[in-house]
Amino acid sequence: MPALTPPAGRAGPALRRACAAPWRMSAPVRGRPADAVAAMCGAHAQVLSAAEVSIGLRVAGTTRNDVRDALWKERSPVKTFGPRGTVHLLPTRDLPLWTGALGALPPSSNSLPADARLTRDQTDEVVSAIAEALADAELTIDDLTAAVVARTGSWAADPVVPGFGGMWPRWRQAIHLAAHRGALRFGPNRGRKVTYTSPQRWLPGFRPAPAPDALAGLVRRYLHAYGPATPQQFAQWLSAPRRWATQLFDSLVGELQQVDVAGTVAWVSAGDTAPAPVPSHGVRLLPYFDAYTVGADR
Protein backbone atom coordinates (compact mmCIF):
# COMPACT_ATOMS: atom_id res chain seq x y z
CA MET A 1 0.00 0.00 0.00
CA PRO A 2 1.67 3.29 -1.05
CA ALA A 3 2.01 5.99 1.58
CA LEU A 4 -0.21 9.04 1.29
CA THR A 5 1.80 11.82 -0.30
CA PRO A 6 0.42 15.36 -0.65
CA PRO A 7 0.80 17.26 -3.92
CA ALA A 8 3.78 19.56 -4.22
CA GLY A 9 3.36 22.70 -2.17
CA ARG A 10 0.63 21.23 0.03
CA ALA A 11 2.68 19.68 2.81
CA GLY A 12 0.95 21.96 5.31
CA PRO A 13 1.94 23.42 8.66
CA ALA A 14 3.09 21.82 11.85
CA LEU A 15 0.36 22.01 14.49
CA ARG A 16 0.79 21.81 18.23
CA ARG A 17 -1.11 18.83 19.61
CA ALA A 18 -2.95 21.09 22.05
CA CYS A 19 -4.35 23.07 19.11
CA ALA A 20 -5.22 20.16 16.94
CA ALA A 21 -7.07 17.31 18.52
CA PRO A 22 -9.63 18.60 17.75
CA TRP A 23 -9.85 22.36 18.28
CA ARG A 24 -13.34 23.00 16.95
CA MET A 25 -15.30 20.71 19.23
CA SER A 26 -14.69 22.96 22.24
CA ALA A 27 -16.31 25.96 20.57
CA PRO A 28 -20.05 26.62 21.05
CA VAL A 29 -22.32 26.01 18.08
CA ARG A 30 -24.46 28.89 16.85
CA GLY A 31 -27.85 27.75 15.70
CA ARG A 32 -30.28 24.95 16.42
CA PRO A 33 -29.86 21.37 17.70
CA ALA A 34 -29.48 20.09 14.14
CA ASP A 35 -26.46 22.37 13.69
CA ALA A 36 -24.78 20.80 16.72
CA VAL A 37 -25.59 17.33 15.38
CA ALA A 38 -23.95 18.29 12.07
CA ALA A 39 -20.89 19.73 13.83
CA MET A 40 -20.41 16.48 15.76
CA CYS A 41 -20.88 14.27 12.69
CA GLY A 42 -23.82 12.74 14.52
CA ALA A 43 -24.85 12.62 18.18
CA HIS A 44 -24.80 9.18 19.74
CA ALA A 45 -28.39 8.38 20.72
CA GLN A 46 -28.45 4.76 21.81
CA VAL A 47 -29.74 6.39 24.98
CA LEU A 48 -31.58 9.52 23.82
CA SER A 49 -30.84 11.46 27.00
CA ALA A 50 -27.12 11.23 26.16
CA ALA A 51 -27.75 12.96 22.82
CA GLU A 52 -29.86 15.60 24.55
CA VAL A 53 -27.04 16.45 26.96
CA SER A 54 -24.40 16.37 24.21
CA ILE A 55 -26.38 18.87 22.17
CA GLY A 56 -27.21 21.01 25.20
CA LEU A 57 -23.51 21.36 26.02
CA ARG A 58 -22.85 22.78 22.56
CA VAL A 59 -25.85 25.05 21.96
CA ALA A 60 -26.32 27.54 24.79
CA GLY A 61 -29.75 27.54 26.36
CA THR A 62 -30.91 24.33 24.70
CA THR A 63 -33.18 22.12 26.78
CA ARG A 64 -34.28 18.51 26.50
CA ASN A 65 -37.61 19.70 25.12
CA ASP A 66 -35.82 21.77 22.44
CA VAL A 67 -34.02 18.64 21.24
CA ARG A 68 -37.19 16.57 21.25
CA ASP A 69 -39.12 19.29 19.41
CA ALA A 70 -36.35 19.47 16.82
CA LEU A 71 -36.47 15.68 16.40
CA TRP A 72 -40.20 15.02 16.30
CA LYS A 73 -41.79 18.36 15.33
CA GLU A 74 -39.25 20.26 13.23
CA ARG A 75 -37.74 16.97 12.02
CA SER A 76 -34.40 18.70 11.50
CA PRO A 77 -32.36 15.83 12.95
CA VAL A 78 -33.34 12.22 12.29
CA LYS A 79 -32.86 9.26 14.63
CA THR A 80 -31.34 6.33 12.77
CA PHE A 81 -28.47 3.86 12.72
CA GLY A 82 -25.24 5.74 12.03
CA PRO A 83 -21.50 5.07 12.38
CA ARG A 84 -20.59 1.64 13.77
CA GLY A 85 -24.19 0.53 13.32
CA THR A 86 -25.19 2.36 16.52
CA VAL A 87 -28.14 4.69 17.02
CA HIS A 88 -27.39 8.34 16.24
CA LEU A 89 -29.10 11.62 15.59
CA LEU A 90 -28.01 12.83 12.14
CA PRO A 91 -28.91 16.08 10.37
CA THR A 92 -31.96 15.41 8.19
CA ARG A 93 -30.62 17.69 5.48
CA ASP A 94 -27.54 15.48 5.17
CA LEU A 95 -29.33 12.12 5.25
CA PRO A 96 -28.77 11.46 1.50
CA LEU A 97 -25.02 11.90 2.06
CA TRP A 98 -24.95 9.74 5.19
CA THR A 99 -26.90 6.88 3.66
CA GLY A 100 -24.88 7.07 0.44
CA ALA A 101 -21.66 6.77 2.45
CA LEU A 102 -22.74 4.24 5.08
CA GLY A 103 -24.40 2.07 2.45
CA ALA A 104 -21.07 1.89 0.61
CA LEU A 105 -19.04 0.58 3.56
CA PRO A 106 -17.46 -2.86 3.16
CA PRO A 107 -19.41 -5.66 4.90
CA SER A 108 -18.44 -5.95 8.55
CA SER A 109 -17.30 -9.18 10.14
CA ASN A 110 -20.02 -11.35 11.67
CA SER A 111 -19.27 -13.20 14.89
CA LEU A 112 -22.36 -15.41 14.69
CA PRO A 113 -21.98 -19.09 13.74
CA ALA A 114 -22.12 -19.66 10.00
CA ASP A 115 -25.53 -21.34 10.16
CA ALA A 116 -27.00 -18.32 11.97
CA ARG A 117 -25.84 -15.64 9.56
CA LEU A 118 -27.79 -14.05 6.76
CA THR A 119 -26.48 -14.75 3.29
CA ARG A 120 -25.94 -11.81 0.96
CA ASP A 121 -29.14 -12.66 -0.92
CA GLN A 122 -31.09 -12.99 2.32
CA THR A 123 -29.75 -9.63 3.49
CA ASP A 124 -30.90 -7.95 0.29
CA GLU A 125 -34.28 -9.67 0.60
CA VAL A 126 -34.72 -8.47 4.20
CA VAL A 127 -33.77 -4.87 3.34
CA SER A 128 -36.26 -4.86 0.46
CA ALA A 129 -38.95 -6.27 2.76
CA ILE A 130 -38.25 -3.57 5.35
CA ALA A 131 -38.45 -0.83 2.73
CA GLU A 132 -41.78 -2.14 1.47
CA ALA A 133 -43.25 -2.61 4.95
CA LEU A 134 -42.28 0.87 6.18
CA ALA A 135 -43.15 2.85 3.06
CA ASP A 136 -46.45 4.08 4.54
CA ALA A 137 -46.34 2.91 8.14
CA GLU A 138 -44.79 3.31 11.58
CA LEU A 139 -44.24 -0.19 12.98
CA THR A 140 -43.01 -1.53 16.30
CA ILE A 141 -40.30 -4.16 16.23
CA ASP A 142 -42.90 -6.93 16.63
CA ASP A 143 -45.00 -5.51 13.79
CA LEU A 144 -41.92 -5.19 11.62
CA THR A 145 -40.88 -8.76 12.38
CA ALA A 146 -44.27 -10.02 11.22
CA ALA A 147 -44.09 -7.90 8.06
CA VAL A 148 -40.56 -9.04 7.17
CA VAL A 149 -41.33 -12.72 7.76
CA ALA A 150 -44.51 -12.46 5.67
CA ARG A 151 -42.49 -11.00 2.77
CA THR A 152 -39.47 -13.32 3.01
CA GLY A 153 -40.05 -16.61 4.75
CA SER A 154 -40.00 -18.41 8.08
CA TRP A 155 -36.20 -18.47 8.03
CA ALA A 156 -36.23 -14.73 8.85
CA ALA A 157 -37.91 -15.48 12.19
CA ASP A 158 -35.38 -18.09 13.37
CA PRO A 159 -34.28 -17.02 16.90
CA VAL A 160 -30.51 -17.05 16.33
CA VAL A 161 -29.29 -13.56 17.33
CA PRO A 162 -28.37 -13.07 21.02
CA GLY A 163 -29.87 -9.88 22.42
CA PHE A 164 -30.62 -8.59 25.93
CA GLY A 165 -31.00 -11.96 27.60
CA GLY A 166 -32.98 -13.57 24.80
CA MET A 167 -32.72 -14.49 21.15
CA TRP A 168 -33.78 -12.17 18.34
CA PRO A 169 -35.02 -13.29 14.92
CA ARG A 170 -32.47 -13.82 12.17
CA TRP A 171 -33.59 -10.78 10.15
CA ARG A 172 -32.51 -8.37 12.91
CA GLN A 173 -28.90 -8.74 11.70
CA ALA A 174 -29.83 -6.47 8.80
CA ILE A 175 -31.76 -3.73 10.58
CA HIS A 176 -28.83 -1.30 10.68
CA LEU A 177 -28.03 -2.08 7.04
CA ALA A 178 -31.60 -1.17 6.12
CA ALA A 179 -31.02 2.25 7.71
CA HIS A 180 -27.64 2.61 6.00
CA ARG A 181 -29.27 1.89 2.64
CA GLY A 182 -32.00 4.45 3.23
CA ALA A 183 -34.89 2.07 3.93
CA LEU A 184 -35.44 2.70 7.65
CA ARG A 185 -35.31 5.34 10.36
CA PHE A 186 -36.81 5.60 13.83
CA GLY A 187 -40.29 6.99 14.30
CA PRO A 188 -41.73 8.49 17.51
CA ASN A 189 -42.18 6.09 20.39
CA ARG A 190 -45.56 4.43 20.82
CA GLY A 191 -45.79 4.50 24.58
CA ARG A 192 -42.63 2.72 25.67
CA LYS A 193 -42.22 0.94 22.35
CA VAL A 194 -39.85 2.12 19.61
CA THR A 195 -41.24 2.47 16.11
CA TYR A 196 -39.61 2.45 12.69
CA THR A 197 -40.64 4.08 9.45
CA SER A 198 -39.27 5.20 6.08
CA PRO A 199 -37.07 8.29 5.56
CA GLN A 200 -39.17 9.14 2.51
CA ARG A 201 -42.08 9.99 4.77
CA TRP A 202 -40.07 13.00 6.00
CA LEU A 203 -38.11 13.63 2.84
CA PRO A 204 -40.26 13.08 -0.26
CA GLY A 205 -38.05 12.02 -3.14
CA PHE A 206 -35.28 10.99 -0.74
CA ARG A 207 -32.61 8.67 -2.08
CA PRO A 208 -29.03 7.96 -0.99
CA ALA A 209 -26.39 10.09 -2.71
CA PRO A 210 -23.93 8.40 -5.12
CA ALA A 211 -21.30 6.56 -3.10
CA PRO A 212 -18.12 8.34 -4.34
CA ASP A 213 -19.50 11.82 -3.63
CA ALA A 214 -21.03 10.72 -0.33
CA LEU A 215 -17.82 9.12 0.95
CA ALA A 216 -15.78 12.18 -0.02
CA GLY A 217 -18.27 14.40 1.77
CA LEU A 218 -18.18 12.25 4.89
CA VAL A 219 -14.37 12.37 5.00
CA ARG A 220 -14.48 16.16 4.75
CA ARG A 221 -17.06 16.43 7.54
CA TYR A 222 -15.15 14.05 9.78
CA LEU A 223 -11.86 15.87 9.30
CA HIS A 224 -13.48 19.25 9.90
CA ALA A 225 -14.95 18.01 13.18
CA TYR A 226 -12.15 15.75 14.45
CA GLY A 227 -9.06 16.37 12.36
CA PRO A 228 -6.19 16.36 11.99
CA ALA A 229 -6.70 12.61 11.79
CA THR A 230 -5.33 9.54 10.06
CA PRO A 231 -7.16 7.03 7.87
CA GLN A 232 -6.82 4.56 10.75
CA GLN A 233 -8.70 6.90 13.10
CA PHE A 234 -11.40 7.44 10.48
CA ALA A 235 -11.69 3.65 10.11
CA GLN A 236 -12.03 3.20 13.86
CA TRP A 237 -14.75 5.87 14.02
CA LEU A 238 -16.74 4.08 11.31
CA SER A 239 -15.78 0.52 12.34
CA ALA A 240 -14.47 -0.01 8.82
CA PRO A 241 -11.35 -1.83 7.57
CA ARG A 242 -8.16 0.21 7.86
CA ARG A 243 -6.93 -0.78 4.41
CA TRP A 244 -10.21 0.40 2.88
CA ALA A 245 -9.95 3.73 4.73
CA THR A 246 -6.37 4.22 3.54
CA GLN A 247 -7.44 3.60 -0.05
CA LEU A 248 -10.30 6.08 0.39
CA PHE A 249 -7.92 8.78 1.66
CA ASP A 250 -5.56 7.98 -1.22
CA SER A 251 -8.37 8.55 -3.69
CA LEU A 252 -8.97 12.00 -2.15
CA VAL A 253 -5.34 13.05 -1.84
CA GLY A 254 -5.89 16.10 -4.05
CA GLU A 255 -8.55 17.36 -1.63
CA LEU A 256 -6.63 16.68 1.57
CA GLN A 257 -3.69 18.37 3.25
CA GLN A 258 -0.98 16.70 5.26
CA VAL A 259 0.01 18.29 8.57
CA ASP A 260 2.49 17.46 11.27
CA VAL A 261 1.07 17.08 14.78
CA ALA A 262 3.91 16.77 17.27
CA GLY A 263 5.81 14.55 14.84
CA THR A 264 2.78 12.52 13.73
CA VAL A 265 1.54 12.78 10.14
CA ALA A 266 -2.20 13.47 9.96
CA TRP A 267 -4.68 14.95 7.51
CA VAL A 268 -7.18 17.79 7.20
CA SER A 269 -9.26 19.00 4.29
CA ALA A 270 -7.10 21.20 2.08
CA GLY A 271 -6.79 24.67 3.60
CA ASP A 272 -8.81 23.81 6.71
CA THR A 273 -6.14 24.61 9.29
CA ALA A 274 -7.53 27.74 10.96
CA PRO A 275 -8.38 27.29 14.66
CA ALA A 276 -11.86 27.88 16.01
CA PRO A 277 -12.74 31.62 16.19
CA VAL A 278 -13.51 31.30 19.90
CA PRO A 279 -10.53 29.98 21.89
CA SER A 280 -11.28 27.17 24.32
CA HIS A 281 -11.14 27.84 28.02
CA GLY A 282 -11.95 26.00 31.22
CA VAL A 283 -12.97 22.37 31.51
CA ARG A 284 -16.05 20.64 30.13
CA LEU A 285 -17.32 17.36 31.48
CA LEU A 286 -18.73 15.21 28.69
CA PRO A 287 -21.86 13.10 29.09
CA TYR A 288 -21.89 9.37 28.62
CA PHE A 289 -21.61 8.25 24.98
CA ASP A 290 -20.55 11.71 23.80
CA ALA A 291 -19.47 11.71 20.15
CA TYR A 292 -16.16 13.41 21.01
CA THR A 293 -14.91 10.37 22.92
CA VAL A 294 -15.10 8.19 19.80
CA GLY A 295 -14.45 10.66 16.99
CA ALA A 296 -11.43 12.21 18.68
CA ASP A 297 -9.93 9.02 20.07
CA ARG A 298 -6.16 9.34 19.95
- CATH fold of 14-24+215-290: Arc Repressor Mutant, subunit A (1.10.10)
CA distance 21 to 11: 19
Q: What is the pLDDT of residues 60-108, one digit of tens each?
A: 899 999 999 999 999 999 999 999 999 999 999 999 999 999 999 999 8
H or E stretch at 194: strand 193-197
Residues 139/195, Cβ–Cβ less than 8 Å: yes
In which band, very low, low, confident or very high, does the pLDDT at 292 lie, cut at 50, 70 and 90? Answer: confident
Its pTM stands at: 0.89
For 32-49, the three-class secondary structure string (H helix, E strand, C coil) is CHHHHHHHCCCEECCCHH
Look at domain 116-207 and name its CATH class. Answer: alpha beta
CA distance 171 to 10: 48
What's the whole-number average pLDDT of the chain? 88
Which stretches does DSSP call E strand in 198-255?
none
**Domain boundaries defined on the chain:** 14-24+215-290, 116-207
User: Which amino acid is residue 42, in one-letter code?
Assistant: G
Q: What is the pLDDT of residues 221-263, one digit of tens each?
A: 999 999 899 999 999 999 999 999 999 999 998 999 999 888 8
CA distance 122 to 111: 17
For 262-296, the three-class secondary structure string (H helix, E strand, C coil) is CCEEEEEECCCCCCCCCCCCCCCCCCCCCCHHHHC
* CA dihedral sign of residues 36, 37, 40, 46: positive
